[in-house]
Amino acid sequence: MDVTDDRNELPEELLELVFMHLQYVQDILRFGVVCRSWSFVASELVYDKGVEIQLEGTYGAWCCNSWNGWLLTIDYTPPHAINFLDIMSGYKFSCPSDGLEHPAPEIHQTPIEAFIKKVIASSAPSNPNCIFVAICCNWAELALCKPGDRRWTTG
């Protein structure tokens, strides 16, 4: 008997139990490509039931935005590390956190979401010619940096 036939014969309830124990997006994607019946169960659970997933490298961080398959995360705790994360490969590129300090004395009482609205990249963050642009909310400024910079440049 062919192994492929056995996978198609598993009851949907059993597949749901297996699927509900998956935590990472990579595992969920792999589950969905096993065969058509597994793909159907995965898509049904993700879209119909709103399954919550965890992404490696995002714990304790605010997921600010995404760009071309890269997810931007900013740590909630000082010094508020800023990272671009490729959720498929797990590759993480760190941007400097220096230079984005807010001048207000109550900085530690204000959530990080109030300081940085968005960060975008001119190309893949792994490209040495990439330029990052941060939109800083509270003081209406743009900040720039390139890979290898130790701090953001504000104008």
For 10-51, CATH number out of 3.30.60, 3.30.1360, 1.10.10, 1.20.1280 equals 1.20.1280
> Whats the size of the chain, residue-wise?
155
**Among 90, 84, 81, which Cα is nearest to 127's?**
84
Predicted confidence (pLDDT) per residue in 40-98, tens digit: 888 777 766 665 666 677 778 887 778 778 888 888 777 778 888 887 777 888 888 77
- Domains of the chain, by residue range, sit at 10-51
User: Does residue 1 carry a pLDDT above 50?
Assistant: no
pLDDT category of residue 131 using cuts at 50, 70 and 90: very high
- Determine the 3-state secondary structure of 13 from DSSP: helix
Mean pLDDT throughout 8-16?
81
* 117 neighbors 135 (Cβ within 8 angstroms): yes
Predicted confidence (pLDDT) per residue in 118-128, tens digit: 888 898 888 88
